[in-house]
Structure 1
Amino acid sequence: MANQQELFFEAIKAALPEYQNMAQSIAEVLEVSTNEAYKKIRGSSILNLQQIIKLSDSFRVPFIYKPDQLPTVTFDYLSVDQEIPNMLLYLQDLLKNLKQIQQSKHKHITITTDDIPLFHFFKYPELTCFKLFFWSDSVMNTDVKFDPSGFAAEIIEISKELNQIYLEIPCTEIWSKDTVHGTIEQIRYAFEAGYITKALAEQIIEQVRYCLTDMNMYAISSKKTIDPAHTFNWYNCDVLGSISYLVDFKDSMACYNRFNTFNYLRTEDQPYCKQTKQWMQGLIMKSVSFSGQGKSTGTNTCIMLLPSVINY
């Protein structure tokens, strides 16, 4: 129990903003003295079941227990209606998670992906709406036409906030050779199937071009903003195998695995996260770096592909 309690408090610490005093926060939730809260944190005083529930509910951090003989991993996920996906709810959940990461003193996100990370899209309204439309249409399988004006203003506002927050979080991205092709083929399919007009397809393609130009700038300077703390490391690897986001808080980690087109599974199981980190580090050893090279030929090659997407 002591080891699980220690891991539990490490997870709570990672979830707290840097300015928030952990012992005082624990004391307030459990309605005990600060001295007693410190004992709980050190493990000299054991939490009871009711206290575990209170802490889990207050800080939205699960208490994970598994017998040593059972190699199981517990995942959480946002339950989005698969028949009528609520994209606003989806984005609000993303924002909550990303803000929690941003507020941590020590944080770093490592991504392996065969699709351009959605946070880069969120800077561009029509491209954002198209990706959300394509995802929901893939699930719903309807014949609804794509109309960016049909998306709520709140979706655009949250998307831009997500993009800005992501730019301020140090990260490493590992792309496969087909990462850009997925979005290009989605636009091509939507145009040929009559979901979008030629003019709208051209506008979305142009925004993909802008997005890749942004990537080029991040790669050249190895950072996403003028702040040197907002580091950006970019790699290309021929074979990845999965879309995963690993958040490293120094003292603990969290892993997000994408599934069902746009959804994700989340776990703070440390052995699982450690294994994922080792796998990602192995990929980096076999990858080509685009960062800090003075010129990003990888992005320039991707940009050259864009004019041929739509057959006029």
Structure 2
Amino acid sequence: MDIDRLPVQLEFFNQIRASLPSHETLVDVVADILRVSNDSAYRRIRGETPISFDEIGKLSRHFKVSVDKLLNVKADSYIFNGKLANTQDHILDKWLENVLAQFEFMRSYPGCKLYYLAKDLPLAHFFQIPELAAFKFFFWQKSILQYDEMRGSRFEIGQIDPTCKMLSEKIVATYNSISTIEIWNAESVNSTIRQIEFYRDSDIFYSKSELLMMWDIMEELINHLERQAECGLKFAFGQHPQPGMASYEMFNNELILGNNTVFADFGSFKLTFLNHSVINYISTQDDRFNNYMYAGIENMIRKSEQLNNVNEKGRLSFFNRLRHKIYDARKTN
């Protein structure tokens, strides 16, 4: 047996094991991907049989394991994975399917805790109310992805693709089942407010009733999030909290505005999702990067005001500031 090879091969399978959903077994998945027997898969996992370069390639691509990291190549670099939304080969419903898959993966680990550093409203909250989801889908397709068919179009609040609507509802239900800590700033609502104002000033709303409804919906969403913060639980818009629901912690950080980073702590491993180009994310499972990120998040939490449960004064003050921003924007209609 090659003693020098053994620690690297064992660590390779340890990383794969850490990324497996709780309902899957390592030996079954490895045997299926490599098309070998379970006994042969066991021998590779235990290091008794060396894995070939071809097998390393198949497993690392499937599980997104960094071979560079295992071999200590370029210790100052990090391997990220991600898909790019575009108008050619990655339409909106495919992007939503990817978002849903990430949340479903987190939900498959009962002990997973999700951290969200909110520069904007956390992504799933846009989908709490169908009319707000319709607005965000329209905005992303027209102003970010610049779909050709959206040129000259105006926003009608009832127009929403059925598939996107179904996927957004699943995203909300899945997100609401994951214990979450969100770190906000009063500026976190600004970008959505400015998007509504821009479409108002550009005469892109089909009618004034659509515009007024968007302001109503924004306030309703803020009220809903305030109720979640008050009881410390996540629940669907228009519903009531029930025992056993996922926990919800909310913090206000006056010093730092988040960057829409999403951090998932699975216990045995961690994942960081970095936001870029408005709606895209890249992710890494690199231990050194994630430990650094986790330490930074803990520091942000220590310097933030918790808005949950007993802090009625701080919570009321924070959410009143958000409502006042919406009120000020609405006055100029």
Determine if the TM-score, normalized by the shorter chain, exceeds 0.5: yes
- SS of the residue corresponding to residue 116 of structure 2 reads strand
Distance change (3 Å), C-alpha of 1:96 and 1:308: same
Match of 1:231 among 223, 241, 247: 247
- What RMSD over aligned residues (CA atoms) do the two structures have, in Å? 2.5
Asked if structure 2 preserves the Cα contact closer than 8 Å seen for 1:84 and 1:136, the reply is no
Q: Which residue of 2 aligns with 1:86?
A: 91
Partner of 2:120: 115
Cα shift at 1:36: 4.3
CA distance change for structure 1 residues 70 and 99 in 2, over 3 Å: closer, same or farther?
same
The alignment status of 1:282 with 2:299, answered yes or no, reads yes
Cα shift at 1:26: 2.2
The unaligned stretches of length 5 or more in structure 2 are 236-241
1:18 to 2:22 alignment? yes
Structure 2 CA distance for aligned equivalents of residues 52 and 68 of structure 1: 16
The structure-2 alpha-carbon separation of the partners of 1:144 and 1:6, relative to structure 1 and needing over 3 Å to count, comes to farther
1:102 counterpart letter in structure 2: R
Measured after TM superposition, the shift of residue 171 of structure 1 is 0.9
Asked if the contact 2:252/2:305 (under 8 Å) is kept, the reply is yes
Separation in structure 2 between the aligned mates of residue 217 and residue 93 of structure 1, nearest angstrom: 29
Tell me: CA distance 1:82–1:263, structure 2 relative to 1, closer, same or farther (3 Å): farther
Larger radius of gyration: 2
Q: Quick one: distance in 1 between partners of 2:258 and 2:126? A: 22
3-state SS of the aligned residue for 1:309? helix
Q: Percent identity?
A: 22
Q: Is the 8 A contact 1:10 1:251 kept in 2?
A: no
Alignment size in residue pairs: 311
Normalising by structure 1, report the TM-score: 0.89
In the alignment, the residues of structure 1 paired with residue 155 and residue 127 of structure 2 have an alpha-carbon distance, to the nearest angstrom, of: 17
State the alpha-carbon separation in 2 of the partners of residues 184 and 54 from structure 1: 46
Aligned-partner Cα distance in 2 for 1:17–1:188: 43
In structure 1, distance between residues paired with 2:157 and 2:17: 40
The CA distance in 1 between the partners of 2:300 and 2:60, in whole Å, is 35
Q: Residues 40-65 of structure 1: CA distance to partner in whole angstroms, max 9, x if unpaired?
A: 334454432222233345x4433432
* Structure 1 residue ranges without an equivalent (≥5): none
Confirm or deny that 1:183 pairs with 2:192. yes
Moved more, 111-120 or 205-214: 205-214
Work out whether residues 270 and 290 of structure 2, in 8 Å CA contact, stay in contact via their aligned partners in 1: yes
1:12-48 per-position Cα deviation (integer Å, ceiling 9, x unaligned): 3344332222223323333444444344334454432
Instruction: Report 1:172-251 matches (<5 A).
Output: 172-196=181-205, 197-225=207-235, 226-228=242-244, 230-238=246-254, 239-240=256-257, 242-251=259-268
Once the two structures are TM-superposed, the CA of residue 151 in structure 1 deviates from its matched residue by: 3.0
Match of 2:325 in 1: 305
Alpha-carbon offset, residue 284 of structure 1: 0.6
Deviation string 1:174-194 (CA, Å, 9 cap, x unpaired) is 112200122112112211211
**Equivalent residue in structure 1 for 2:271, among 239, 254, 257:** 254
CA deviation vs aligned residue, 1:209-266 (integer Å, no higher than 9, x gap) = 2221221121112121424461111111121352200111111111111111111111
Shift of the alpha carbon at 1:2? 5.0
Partner of 1:144: 153
